[in-house]
């Protein structure tokens, strides 16, 4: 049995064990299962990120949090990041930026998003995260099933190449999320009140209309709903000719 197959078996077993687990229990399990110093939290500091980060801070505010600073984010997101870090007492937030030479070579005019969003996302998100995760054996993210599409059936634990990936919020509903915001007094992303239910890079994020899915404003009118960081086992440098 290969290492990947063994990891897949571990993930399947953990997922069964954690089927009814709370977010905190999933995070605590991740800490137990992944060697010390080899577990990372990945957060966009978007409209729903405070909930995952609140649970993380309750368990261990010193866990490394990886934040993809693409160079094309809303200023409101950067301000919100700083506010949440202070509010929750997070002590190890690391900003990941795209390689300067790669951006200069592939997107010198910062308009690649107009013609090739896959490559733009790869340069600014997938590649930096893939490189950073080389130092870890597991990671935690904030995807939820109620977002639909590819997220509708995500497990609490899955194998992601050679890493274990934990989804503590997988089973939470939109109502559950709102309840945590209210009971914990968590600050909201400033763009949420302006109609943005999900926030990414400025060029590819728009407001959502009443009744639309939470991520409908991401890459609107394009046949995609993900940036690529959740493609299982995606190797560094794949997909954009880097």
Q: Which residues have a catalytic role annotated? A: 227
Residue 41 CB partners (closer than 8 Å, separation 6+) = 52, 53, 56, 63, 64, 65, 66, 139, 140, 141
Nearest to 208 by CA among 197, 200, 219: 197
Per-position DSSP letters for 72-93, written without gaps between them: -B-HHHHHHHHHHHHHHT---E
Residue 163 per-residue DSSP state: E
Going 210 to 213 to 217 to 222, the CA torsion angle's sign is negative
The pair of three-digit structure tokens given for residue 191, joined into one six-digit string: 């763009």
Residue 107 CB partners (closer than 8 Å, separation 6+) = 119, 120, 123
Q: How many CB atoms lie within 10 A of CB 24?
A: 14
What is the C-alpha to C-alpha distance for residues 105 and 242, in angstroms, rounded to an integer?
9
Q: Distance of CA 42 to CAs 8, 21, 109, 175, Å?
A: 21, 20, 28, 23
What is the C-alpha to C-alpha distance for residues 242 and 214, in angstroms, rounded to an integer?
32
């Amino acid at each position: 049995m290969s290492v990947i197959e063994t990891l897949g078996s571990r993930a399947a077993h953990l997922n069964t064990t954690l089927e009814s687990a709370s977010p905190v229990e999933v995070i605590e399990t991740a800490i137990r299962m992944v060697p010390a110093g080899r577990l990372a939290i990945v957060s966009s500091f978007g409209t729903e990120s405070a909930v995952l980060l609140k649970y993380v801070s309750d368990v261990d505010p010193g866990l490394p949090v990886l934040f993809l600073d693409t160079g094309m984010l809303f200023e409101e997101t950067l301000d919100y990041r700083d506010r949440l870090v202070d509010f929750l007492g997070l002590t190890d937030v690391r900003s990941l930026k795209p390689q300067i030479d790669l951006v200069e070579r592939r997107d010198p005019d910062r308009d690649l998003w107009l013609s090739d969003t896959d490559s733009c996302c790869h340069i600014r998100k997938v590649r930096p995260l893939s490189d950073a995760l080389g130092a870890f054996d597991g990671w935690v993210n904030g995807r939820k099933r109620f977002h639909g599409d590819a997220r509708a059936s995500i497990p609490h634990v899955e194998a992601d190449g050679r890493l274990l990936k934990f989804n503590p919020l997988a089973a939470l509903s939109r109502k559950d999320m709102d309840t945590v915001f209210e009971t914990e007094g968590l600050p909201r992303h400033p763009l949420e009140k302006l109609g943005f239910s999900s926030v990414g890079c400025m060029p590819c994020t728009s407001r959502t209309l009443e009744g639309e899915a939470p991520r409908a404003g991401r890459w609107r009118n394009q046949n995609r709903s993900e940036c690529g960081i959740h493609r299982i086992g995606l190797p560094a440098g794949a997909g954009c000719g880097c």
